[in-house]
Structure formats: structure tokens, C-alpha cells
Chain A
Amino acid sequence: MTDSKYFTTTKKGEIFELKAELNSDKKEKKKEAVKKVIASMTVGKDVSALFPDVVNCMQTDNLELKKLVYLYLMNYAKSQPDMAIMAVNTFVKDCEDLNPLIRALAVRTMGCIRVDKITEYLCEPLRKCLKDEDPYVRKTAAVCVAKLHDINAQLVEDQGFLDTLKDLISDSNPMVVANAVAALSEIAESHPNSNLLDLNPQTINKLLTALNECTEWGQIFILDCLASYLPRDDRESQSICERVTPRLSHANSAVVLSAVKVLMKFMEMLPKDLDYYGTLLKKLAPPLVTLLSAEPELQYVALRNINLIVQKRPEILKHEMKVFFVKYNDPIYVKLEKLDIMIRLASQANIAQVLAELKEYATEVDVDFVRKAVRAIGRCAIKVEQSAERCVSTLLDLIQTKVNYVVQEAIVVIKDIFRKYPNKYESVIATLCENLDSLDEPEARAAMIWIVGEYAERIDNADELLESFLEGFHDESTQVQLQLLTAIVKLFLKKPTETQELVQQVLSLATQDSDNPDLRDRGYIYWRLLSTDPVAAKEVVLAEKPLISEETDLIEPTLLEELICHIGTLASVYHKPPSAFVEGSRGVQHKRLPPRAGSGESTESPDVGQSGPSEAPPAVIPSQGDLLGDLLNLDLAPPTATVPSVQPSMQMGAMDLLGGGLDSLVCSSPAMGAGLGAAPAAMPASLGSAPAVGGGLGDLFDLGGGVGMPTGSYVAPKTVWLLAMKAKGLEISGTFARRGGIIQMDLSLTNKAMSVMTDFAIQFNRNSFGLAPAGPLQVLTPLSPNQTIDVSLPLSTSGPVMKMEPLNNLQVAVKNNIDVFYFSCQYPLSLLFVEDGKMDRQVFLATWKDIPNDNEAQFQIKDIHLNSDVASNKLQGSNIFTIAKRTVEGQDMLYQSVKLTNGIWVLAEMRIQTGNPNYTWMCWRRPHVRECVSQNDSPVIS
């Protein structure tokens, strides 16, 4: 007889019958009845009415029956909280049973009964079980603490269970250790700033010992926990790596990936010239490749992670291209991921093989896969210059197939190739034009139009071609309309005589007959530009375009670092930070890789890019090869969460266009023209933080213009800290200022909701410099809809101190009558420079000599045309005091001191070379402060 018979008894009055059977004296009958109840439960019938009868069966010696009753309890206790109390006694008794299996079963089930009233009764039994002599009971009890914490966190803390749990990390049994670690990690997740997992070298050692002995799952818990540890130095980091590497040979893919996570993270701390660093790199490749022989779902997770690893450390897999070749029977999601990695690994050495493969894929039947393969060919052309010609001819071959979607994809990528290698492959334009009629996707149409506009002078019938598109102007998508407008204006500027009518037609279509504001605005800009100053128009529209970079859709570095810390998890699969998809994790600290080894050496310091635009960031083709990334759609660029770094590079001119509109356009420098003419150029992601950066233009140097007067400390323009959509209509923007020795937080509160807001209050989380509100938030009148109030909140530095990451991060909570909202912002460090920061010359000299070499750092600030006196005057406005000045071989050296509110001194040397607009600023006192200051000094000086 099998259990399936229980599913078949569905007569009327069933509940009544069951009730009778449950109360039977015969054990067998009782058990049968409980089974029937469970069967009904499984198929979704409500059998909660039998609660008291089933609970009555709980006191039994029969383990199987007991398990069934417990199962029932777990399901229905929540709906019958009052009756669930009835079960408490049995639980307490079972927790003292002679049989450890029953003790464990009781403690396991207890935790699953999510009824508040019961939990209190469970504390005592749980306490005993945590100290049980049998490891099986202890390991179950450890998990129960996490369960209880989920129901009533306060209770768990009050009862001291957390300490008991911590003690279990030193348990003699590896499985108990593993479960305790898992439970603690789980609890710590809901207490982001708690010091629950107090990891120190001793506990780490215990974990590493348990790692060798526990089950595969336990190993994963321990490895995941290890990954959150920050070793003190490279030596500790190396010794942990050495003990983790054997896990790479584990048969379970999840163990391997978790080990890879630990290694990838700790490697960051190893000096690159260390032999061990090289050994480790070599050891990582084979296990990653082997993951590709796992089940397809695991392959998928592995591939998504390899995609990250390849971006972070391309050297690991650079010789492994072949393993990513697509197999005919791979599931589609594996195929697409492999393709992505193939492109990332493509290099001059392997490009021939890659291209042959891609061509093969492009003739398959799966449309999405084929599209991606065609796109991949284009990306190869852009990435590996030597292969461009071969790629183009491959694409032309594919266009000859006349398969509609292949042709369209090919045209989209050829446009990018034209951008990358101008004036090289235009011979193919004729072939492209032949396929004009078959293009029905907006992206392909827009690409084709761009090509026609860009090379209008070489295409005899360019006007006819564009005119043919114009006929159905209103039916086109915005993307195509915008492109058509730009293309016709280009055509007009190149062949003004024949196309006047056409350009008028398109301008009127765009400005008068369109509801689309983007289109209208662009139409007007062109119109006025053309009518005011055709020469300027030519300079603007036909200006040289910034180059596009070889790499497409690279993950932004800070996000990449965070994702590396999440290898193996959903975040690494989605390529999104956990805060993007896990509710309630907003306040949680973003994980960061440990500080890089040797970042003190300035030349290779990754921070260089932040203090000076030594290399202008290359423009990136958006992943969709999006033509929309042109001038007027800059504001569509995704806002990135990066620290707004001021980059006074030429692209900034383009940013200004947005705010300044026509006026600034006309009188702008040629650099701005480049921005405008760069129709299909997307701006680098970092400039997505436009509002903050744009303000860089109106900064001190430009406004003060070398007047040589102390202008007071630099105040950054307000930026939006809290979006209205995230705070039920309340938008907060703000900045920080130091006025007369008082630190102030300037806030603008805007009500974008429908109802009035009142009762504002503000609070800060503990932070690195103990910033705290010096008084209440003064919003006296209620904030009515669409109203904005500016408030200045004086701050003190006497609040509680906790080191934040980054150092100048400030987490703020704002309350109003609707809810409490949280956001975090970063304050310029110059806020903390106090007025009495002028160091005595003698003291300066003595201290300067004492600074150890590794506390030294160097930054370059570029493009500043000021002499040293003006600069030092300006800096004094921000409480950066010049102590001494000397001139050596045409170089002015300023020696400066700064004192922070918490009494830390920072000493600096600034070199200014006459005639060279670059400043070199070096030598800081405290390593932590140093990095932050480097981020902040640019706005102060510039």
C-alpha cells in the first residue's frame, strides 16, 4: 500500500469522520487519520478545524506520528494562535526527551511556529538545547536562534542567545560551528552595523579549521562568512588564501564559487609582484572552467560570475577562450552568456578563431542568439583594431544572406564601426543602401539614417534617400525622428544648395507638428543656429566626434567591486547590487573590496583619475548600440551613484548645454561644439551625475577670476539627496557649507506629493567625524504641495563617532508626518578644516620630516591657470593655510597645513609650475583622511 490512497478519500463529512478517527484509541488508526489530514493539507484543503484533535495526538512515542503532528502544527499554528499554546507543554517535554532525535525535532519545530505568544515559553528549552551534549541537537538549536530572532529580535538579545551562539563558533563539532556561523550571518544581515560577527584572527582560525571537516553546505556558510572579513595585512590575507585554495577542488560547484569569492576579494590586498599572487591567479582558472561542465543552471550562475571576474581580472581566463565556444545543445541562456564572455576575451591573438565561431553562430536559427552573434562581430571590430577589416567583410557576407534581422543587426553595428574608424570602410555604403527598404526596426533605421547623414557628401542620392524616410515622419519612432532631423541638417550643411526645401520641411515637422518636446527642442536649436550663424552651425553640427571606446557595456568599477563581493549570489547573477532588489536593504552598507595593495604609490594610484582628468574617459557605446545617446538625450543617461567627481574636462562643455541652452551654445568654446556635433555620441557614464558636475563650471576660479581676494570657503551646489519617488513625495536636495566657523547643512525640502507635510525632524547616524545637528530642523510652516523651503541646519562635531566607508559618508534620517526616510550623502572634507589650522613654521618643519613615506600620496590637479599667490589666497578661504613658499627652478612650492575638527593635522606640499596649468599636490598625514581629501580638494581649489 502506498500513501497515495490518502488522497482519494474525498467524501462528504470527511472532517467529521477524521475527527472520530483522530480520537480513536487504536494507535494505528490514529496514525492513519493524521496521515489523511496531512494529505488533505498537501492538496490545499483547509483542515485547520481539526487542530485540537491533531494536537492531542502529539504525545506519542511513535516518531513518525510525532513528525506528522509537528508538520501539521507548523502549517496551522499561525492561524490558530490560541490553540497553539496547547502544544507548548509537549514541546518543553520533548526537549528533554532521552532520544536526541526527538529533542532536535522539538527544537526545530518550535522555531517554525511563528506565534508571538509561544515564543516566550520556548526560551528555556532552547537554552538547554544550545548546551545539549549531543551535537545533532546543538546544531539544530543554533539554527533555532536565527528563527527566533526573525520572530522577536529583542527577545533573543535580552535572553543572551546571541552570546551563546557566538560561543558555538568554538564548538568542537564542525557541523555545529557551520550552523552557528550560518545563523549569525543571517542575523547580522538584518543588523547591518552591528558587530555581531566579531571576526578576529582567532575566530578566523577556528572557522578555517572547521572548514576542513564540515559538510559541503557548512563549507559554503563558512566561506561566505570569511568573505566578509577584512584581513589586517597582506600576510594574513595570503595565509587565509592558502587555506581556502584547496576548496577549489571540491566537487560541489557552490563550494567552488564561494571559495573563488573569498580569493578574489583577498587577492586585492596582495602585492602584485608577490610570487604567490601569480600562483593564485593560475590556480583560479581551471576550477572556473570546470564549472562549465556542471548542470546548465549552475553553468549559468558560473558564467554570470565569470563575466564579472573577466572584467575585474582579465588575466585569469585570457587563454581559455575555447571553453566558451557554444555547443549546439546548450540552453539559450547559456549560449547568450558564453557569447558575452567570448567578446570580453577576444584579443588579437584569438580573433580569427572567435570570428569563425561567430560567423557560424550567425547562421543558426535562434533569432535572439543570431542577433547577439552579429552584434558580437561588430564589437570585435571595435575592440580589436587589426580585425576590423575582417569583421566588416564578415558582416557584408551576412548582409548578403538577406535574412531580415541579420541585415538589420549588421547595419546597427556597422554604424559603430564607422564611428570608431572614420573614413576607412565607407566603400561598403553602397551595399548598405541596397538594403534600405528591408529595414523595419527603429534601431536599424536610425543607424542607416545616421550613416546617410554622416556621409551625405559621398552618397549621390542622399537627399532622395532621406526624403523617402521623411514621408512617413509621423509614424516613425522618436529615435528615428531625431536621427532624421540631425541627418537632414547635416546634409544641408554639406550640400546647402539642393536641400533647402528638405531642411525646412523637416524643421517644421519637428517644431510645429510634433508633440515630442525632445524633438521640438532639437528642431528649434538647429533652426536658430542655422538662421543666426551658419558658420557656427557647421562647426557645431559637423564637429569632430569623440572616439568611442573599445569596450562596451562594462560594469561601472564601484558596482563591479561590490558585485565581486557577492560572487555566487543572486546579485552576481542579476549584475545588480542587492539593494536594488532586496527590500529593506537600503540602509545596508555596500560591500567593498579591501583597499588595494600599494595604493600609497601615487603613480599607479587608482585615485589619480579623480583628482585630475589625466585621461579623458572614453565615450562608451550604450549596450543597445543606442543612437539616442546623442546630445539632447544626455539627460536620459542613467544617473549613477558614483561620488560626483569633478572632472573639468572638455565634455563638461556639453553638460553646460543642458542648463544654459542656446545662449551658452552660441558663445561656447569649440569644445562644446564637439559635444553638440557628436550626435550619436553617448557621454561617459560618470558624467551621468551631471547636476553635481555641471556646477563645477561655476566654481571659484572661474567666478573669482584671479581677483586674489579670499573668497570664503567653497560651497558645492545643492544636489538631490532624496528622490521624491522614494520618499512618498518629499524631495530633499542639499549641500554643506562652512560659514564663520560654523558647519551648516543647507537643505531644500520640496513637497511633490498631493498633501501637506508637517512635523519635520532630522537625525544623523554615527559617522566618522561625529557630525550631529546642533539644533532641531526648523521648518515652521507646513509644507504645502509643490512648495519648496530652504533650511540651514547648524551642525556640531560632538556626536558619536564611527568610521564610515567612505570616510565622509553621512547617513541621515528625515521624519515628517507621513513616514521616516533615509538617505546618505557625502560631505566635502573641507567642511572640517578649522580656522586655526595654521601650523607654526617650526612645528611644521619638524612634523614634515617625521611623516613616514607610506603616508604620502600625490595628486594632480589639471588645467588651472592661477599663480601661486592667488591659489594660496583661495585655499585660505577654505582654511587651507600656506605656511611657507619657495621657488625652485621655476616651480613654486607651497607648504600648507590643515587641521580637522577632530584635531588631525594634514600637511601638504603643492607644486605649481609657471606656464604649466597642472598642479601637483602631495604628502598627507593620515592615510584614511588622505583618500577623502583627494576627492574633495579639487572643488576647493578649482
Chain B
Amino acid sequence: MINDYIFILKAVCHTLTQTSSHQVLICRNYKGDVDMSEIDHFFTLLMQQEEEGLLCPVMSHGNVHFLWIKHSNLYLVATTNKNSNASLVYSFLYKLVEVFTEYFKELEEESIQDNFVVVYELLDELMDFGFPQTTDSKILQEYITQQGNKLEVAKTKVPTTVTNAVSWRSEGIRYKKNEVFIDVIESINVLVNANGSVMSSDIVGSIKLKTMLSGMPELRLGLNDRMLFALTGDKGKTTVTMEDVKFHQCVRLSRFESDRTISFIPPDGESELMSYRINTHVKPLIWIESVIEKFSHSRVEIMVKAKGQFKKQSVANNVEIRVPVPSDADSPKFKTSTGHAKYVPEKNLVVWSIKSFPGGKELLMRAHFCLPSVENHETEGRPPITVKFEIPYFTVSGIQVRYMKIIEKSGYQALPWVRYITQSGDYQLRTNT
């Protein structure tokens, strides 16, 4: 379960010599087991693997193992020479990114250098001897304050929260108006084969909270029972079950396990309370039919038909349909029934944007590109068409918040607000050419 080092590195490209190297921005040694210079091997390995096109998130040199993630142009690397818990290491590295991002807005080279004192402090507090400790940034912010804030005696007490059973919420929070905002967001993942059959589809839902409540409130969330055990589909025939539910650590898991009650003391401010997955055959909300005809050495003709397969009353907003085109295409010409199409040559895409797309409608886009007479020798992949959209006031699964009970010992009245939205997740349609 242990790692020795956490490094934050950046890649440096020397444009003149065409080689790249790395620079350790900051590192923290948690144990004495691995020599710091081992990190040099990491970059050599990384470059090797990149060249071979076989990157792997675990690399080893001798008996030192590197577990790494990349965040923009930074590499966060953990080293170990034991049989560490790999999933813990990656979870922790991602947590690190999360904490730094909450502290510095953006995690990048500059923010690390600008705040190196805080970074050191955080690294010290987040992990001890390779064991992750308190990683809740809201609690950390109570005693590791941004520089500029003078540390006064009152602030340098350990918040009891750190070691409390409720380690995610401090006592003594006050709001004039007590409110909770609940966002129910469902993302649709769809993979459609070139012949139009849906290969896989599922719904990944998430319930997010913005809590503005005083004191230590006890909350209980009630969802429509239909959802918790089984829900009937559109026509009332099929039954779909919530496949898997994941909760924020504030939710009492054993309680949920025994009687399916979602009870918790919420973290203050924004948080994701729960996520769920529904493994069901969802009708793709926006159906795409495409004909991409490639006449080598002369032109490509693209015809895309999009159909809104959802209720007429609903509207999909900010729809973007991304159609791949060959990398050597040029002179684009478009014709659309609604919205507008744009060629994005750096991504080899045509992006067709539609501000609002009413349910039941069918829209059409045609595109024409020229191809050079000299053929491109490199074989290209066949990227799928991807679609982005969001449909407010509606969930595909039919999930509903039936109640949110808020009990605090001071006895205040608080209002829950609920919003529903359905959006595209990983929405891919394979093409023929």
C-alpha cells in the first residue's frame, strides 16, 4: 500500500536539439527506500514506450516501479519498491490533482512554482510514510491556508473534523437562508455499429448537491422506489434495475445495504452525493444516419441525417455532431437544414452545431470536400461520429427525487431544489469508411 516518492514533473522540449527531457518541479520523499535519482529512468522509459506506441501506466526499472498519471503537461509519478496497492496509488494521484486544483484553480507548472510552500505543506499533510491521510480539500483549507493569509493562533488548531468520524464537514457552519440544490444528471453512453445496431448502451447518473445548510444537518434522500428496485421502461413493459450505486463517503453504506435508505450528513458546498449505472437498452436519443462516400483522388461526400428520438415537448440544447473527414481533405462546402457546420482541420472533423433541436425532428447536413490527386499513404483510423447534447428537465431513466428530509437540531426549515438534466456521455457511432 506504500509509495516512496511523489514527483511532479514536466516535460521540456528542446526544439533546437529535437530531444525532450524532464524537469522535476517538486518532489517529496516519504520513505527512504528509493533513491531520488531513479526518476531519471522514468523519463527514459516513458520516451521508449511512447516511441513504441505501447504506453503503460506502470513501468519498472530494476526493482523500482513507477506509477504515473498525466495532467495537462505535468506528470505525477509515484515510485515504490514494494508490492504496493496500485489502485490506491492511482486514486491518490488523482486525489492530489483534485486537491491542487481546488487550491490553485489550475494545476500547472506556474501554479506549482507560485505556491511551492503550500504544495510542500499539502504533500506533508496528504500522505505520511506512504499512507494517504486527510485528503478532503475543504477540511484541509481550514488549517493549511493559502499564503498571504497570516497564520494566527486561532487558525492553527487542528480542526477536530480531521479525525472525526464525520471527516468531511466542520462544525459551526452558518447560513442565513438554508437551502440545498440537487442536480440529477444522466449521461448516456452509446456505441452503435456501422450497420446501425446498438452494441452497448448504458446510463451513468449522478446526483450532485450544493449544500448551504447551517450546523450538522441530517439528510435523508428519497428516490422513486421504482428506481431503487426496478423501473419500468417507456411502455411499461421492461423492467430495468439500477446496476450499481456508488456513494460519497458521507452516506452510511451499511444503512443503505440493509434498508436502502440514503442517509447522510452532507459536506458543505458542492459535492457529488452518489452515482449510479443503469445497464439498459436505451434508445439513442439522437439517432444519426450517415453516408460518407469517398472517391479517391477526387472528393468526399458526406450526408448526415440526425433524428431527435425523444418527446416532442423536450428540446436538446447545444447539440454538436462531429463527423470525421480524411486528413488530406480540403475546400469544404456545407449545406444544413438547421444550425451550421464548421470544418476543424486540426482535428480532421466537421462539427455541425445546432443550438436547439426539438424532439421528433429530423435534420440534414451535407458536406463536400476535395481530395488531392496524390494519395495519402498513411493508413488512417476510422474514428466514429460522436454527438454531444443536453436535454434539460428530463431523465431517460425516469429517476425522481421524491423527498429530501432535512433535520437539524436547531429546527430550521430548509428548502430542497431539484433540477434534472440528460446529456451525452460517450456517444459514438461507427462509420463504414
Interface residues of A (CB under 8 A from B): 2-4, 6-7, 35, 38-39, 42, 44, 62-64, 67-68, 71, 74, 99-102, 104, 108, 111-112, 114, 134-136, 139-140, 143, 146-147, 150, 173-176, 179, 182-183, 185-186, 189, 212-217, 220-221, 224, 243, 245-247, 249-254, 257-258, 286-287, 289-290, 293, 295-298, 300-302, 322-323, 325, 327-329, 331-333, 353, 356-357, 360, 363-368, 566, 568-574, 578, 581-583, 585
> Judging by beta carbons under 8 Å apart, are A298 and B85 in contact?
no
User: Could you give, for residues 175-194 of chain B, a 1 whenever the CB lies within 8 Å of some chain A CB and a 0 otherwise?
Assistant: 00000000000000001011
Q: Give the chain A neighbours of B162 by CB distance below 8 A.
A: 136, 175
Residue of A nearest to B60 (CB): A581
> Judging by beta carbons under 8 Å apart, are B384 and A328 in contact?
yes
The list of the 5 closest CB pairs from A to B, nearest first, reads A286-B244, A2-B114, A246-B253, A578-B83, A217-B132
> Judging by beta carbons under 8 Å apart, are B84 and A569 in contact?
yes
> Judging by beta carbons under 8 Å apart, are B91 and A252 in contact?
yes
> Judging by beta carbons under 8 Å apart, are B158 and A111 in contact?
no
Q: With A and B bound together, what is the CA distance between A578 and B63 in angstroms? A: 11
Q: Give the chain B neighbours of A63 by CB distance below 8 A.
A: 151, 156
Q: With A and B bound together, what is the CA distance between A88 and B365 in angstroms? A: 76
Q: Give the chain B neighbours of A357 by CB distance below 8 A.
A: 199
Q: With A and B bound together, what is the CA distance between A342 and B143 in angstroms? A: 49
> Judging by beta carbons under 8 Å apart, are B129 and A111 in contact?
yes
Q: Give the chain B neighbours of A287 by CB distance below 8 A.
A: 244, 246
User: Could you give, for residues 213-252 of chain B, a 1 whenever the CB lies within 8 Å of some chain A CB and a 0 otherwise?
Assistant: 0000000000000000000000000000001111111001
Q: With A and B bound together, what is the CA distance between A571 and B80 in angstroms? A: 13
Assess A189 versus B82: contact at CB under 8 Å? Given A101-B143, A246-B256, A333-B55.
Answer: yes
In the assembled complex, the CB of B433 is this many whole angstroms from the nearest CB of chain A, namely: 11
In the assembled complex, the CB of A842 is this many whole angstroms from the nearest CB of chain B, namely: 55
> Judging by beta carbons under 8 Å apart, are A182 and B120 in contact?
no
Q: With A and B bound together, what is the CA distance between A44 and B40 in angstroms? A: 14
In the assembled complex, the CB of B108 is this many whole angstroms from the nearest CB of chain A, namely: 12
Q: Give the chain A neighbours of B298 by CB distance below 8 A.
A: none
Question: Which of B24-32, B387-395, B413-421 contacts the other chain?
Answer: B24-32
In the assembled complex, the CB of B44 is this many whole angstroms from the nearest CB of chain A, namely: 18
Q: Give the chain B neighbours of A290 by CB distance below 8 A.
A: 243-244, 246, 277
> Judging by beta carbons under 8 Å apart, are A4 and B81 in contact?
no
In the assembled complex, the CB of A579 is this many whole angstroms from the nearest CB of chain B, namely: 9
Q: With A and B bound together, what is the CA distance between A456 and B90 in angstroms? A: 55
Residue of A nearest to B200 (CB): A322
Partner of A250, one of B157, B200, B249: B249
Q: With A and B bound together, what is the CA distance between A568 and B244 in angstroms? A: 20
Q: With A and B bound together, what is the CA distance between A251 and B246 in angstroms? A: 5
Partner of A570, one of B26, B58, B248: B58
Q: 7 new A-B pairs (CB below 8 Å) besides A249-B257, A325-B199, A568-B88?
A: A3-B113, A175-B167, A215-B167, A216-B91, A286-B244, A296-B57, A581-B60
Interface residues of B (CB under 8 A from A): 1-2, 24-26, 29, 31-32, 53-58, 60, 63, 65, 67-69, 80-88, 90-94, 110, 113-117, 120-121, 124, 128-129, 131-136, 143, 147, 151, 153, 156-158, 162-163, 165, 167, 191, 193-194, 199-200, 202, 204, 243-249, 252-254, 256-257, 272, 275, 277, 279, 379-384, 426, 428, 430
Q: With A and B bound together, what is the CA distance between A134 and B162 in angstroms? A: 11
Q: With A and B bound together, what is the CA distance between A296 and B25 in angstroms? A: 24
Partner of B90, one of A2, A298, A328, A363: A298
Assess A356 versus B193: contact at CB under 8 Å? Given A186-B2, A243-B254, A247-B253.
Answer: yes
A3, A104, A176, most chain B CB atoms within 10 A:
A3
> Judging by beta carbons under 8 Å apart, are B158 and A582 in contact?
no
> Judging by beta carbons under 8 Å apart, are B199 and A100 in contact?
no
> Judging by beta carbons under 8 Å apart, are A212 and B254 in contact?
yes
In the assembled complex, the CB of B11 is this many whole angstroms from the nearest CB of chain A, namely: 17
Assess A251 versus B131: contact at CB under 8 Å? Given A67-B124, A71-B120, A293-B277.
Answer: no
Partner of B257, one of A7, A174, A220, A246: A246
> Judging by beta carbons under 8 Å apart, are B69 and A150 in contact?
no
Q: With A and B bound together, what is the CA distance between A243 and B328 in angstroms? A: 59
Assess A245 versus B257: contact at CB under 8 Å? Given A327-B426, A328-B383, A568-B88.
Answer: yes
Partner of A582, one of B24, B63, B384: B63
> Judging by beta carbons under 8 Å apart, are A368 and B129 in contact?
no
Q: With A and B bound together, what is the CA distance between A295 and B76 in angstroms? A: 14
Q: Give the chain B neighbours of A572 by CB distance below 8 A.
A: 86
> Judging by beta carbons under 8 Å apart, are B24 and A323 in contact?
no
Q: With A and B bound together, what is the CA distance between A258 and B133 in angstroms? A: 17
Residue of B nearest to A1 (CB): B148
Partner of A364, one of B29, B129, B382: B382
Assess A301 versus B86: contact at CB under 8 Å? Given A215-B135, A363-B382.
Answer: yes
Q: Give the chain B neighbours of A356 by CB distance below 8 A.
A: 193
Q: With A and B bound together, what is the CA distance between A325 and B156 in angstroms? A: 52
Q: Give the chain A neighbours of B153 by CB distance below 8 A.
A: 99
Q: What are 28 A-to-B residue pairs whose CB atoms are below 8 Å?
A: A3-B113, A6-B116, A38-B120, A42-B116, A67-B124, A114-B32, A136-B158, A174-B165, A179-B128, A189-B82, A215-B133, A250-B249, A250-B253, A251-B247, A254-B92, A287-B244, A290-B243, A295-B69, A301-B90, A323-B200, A325-B200, A333-B55, A568-B85, A568-B86, A581-B65, A581-B83, A582-B82, A582-B83
